[in-house]
Amino acid sequence: MQFHPHQQVTPQALEGLARGEDTLALAPEAWSAVAESCRFVGRLQAENRRVYGLTTGFGPLADTRIASDRDQAHQQNLIYHLATGTGPPLERSQARAILATRIFSLARGHSGIRPEALALLVACLNRDLVPAIPERGTVGASGDLTPLAHLALAVMGEGRMLGAEGPVPAAQALAEAGLEPLAPAGRDALAMVNGTAAMTGIA
């Protein structure tokens, strides 16, 4: 299917992606919206504006400014902090539904994610590189932070993917597919974990 940024996604379309019966392409309008949102984030960073989670810390550290040379580490550390799920991984179709749902949200151009980060998520979905997401560990208070952090960790090459016979190192799966792991920057990590893609996709 091809997704436009103002398109409503039907349960049937999501189910086709979740079951691996369809592939996903983003319309040029979606890529344009994502690029413009990313440029806006870049301008905020260049102006050293106070923006939660971008130029400041998180939660009780919201008043702490983050130096520009710590941008990538700041985004990585958010994922490490949140990737604390437990238990067996979700079913493959559930994890694919989560990945597709997150892509739909990010492709609307409101998150500030970099286009190359979104392109990697789309490539993973279409090549059936499915993050291993533990089934327990989220409260949904400000989104499905924990399961989505495991999704992000996998595309960073530091988590696990669902292989044919069980979870395998994500770095190995990405390398075999000829894909470079994500080095999150800007607002990539925050964009991937904020939202309710896990409960929505599974529902």
Tokens of 62: 């919201």
CA distance readout (Å), 162 to 44, 138, 167, 182: 37, 20, 4, 18
Strands (DSSP E) found in 66-177: 86-89, 134-136, 160-163, 166-169
Gyration radius (Cα) of the chain, Å: 16
Place of tokens 């392409």: 25
Among residues 26, 15, 22, 183, the alpha carbon closest in space to that of 97 is found at 15
Catalytic residue (choose from 52, 67, 172, 177): 52
Place of tokens 């979905």: 125
d(CA 52, CA 61): 9
Q: Is 52 a catalytic residue?
A: yes
Kindly write down the DSSP assignment for every residue of 143-158, as one continuous string. Answer: BSHHHHHHHHHHHTTS
Would you mind telling me the total number of residues written for the chain in this entry?
A: 203
Query: Annotated catalytic sites, by residue?
Result: 52
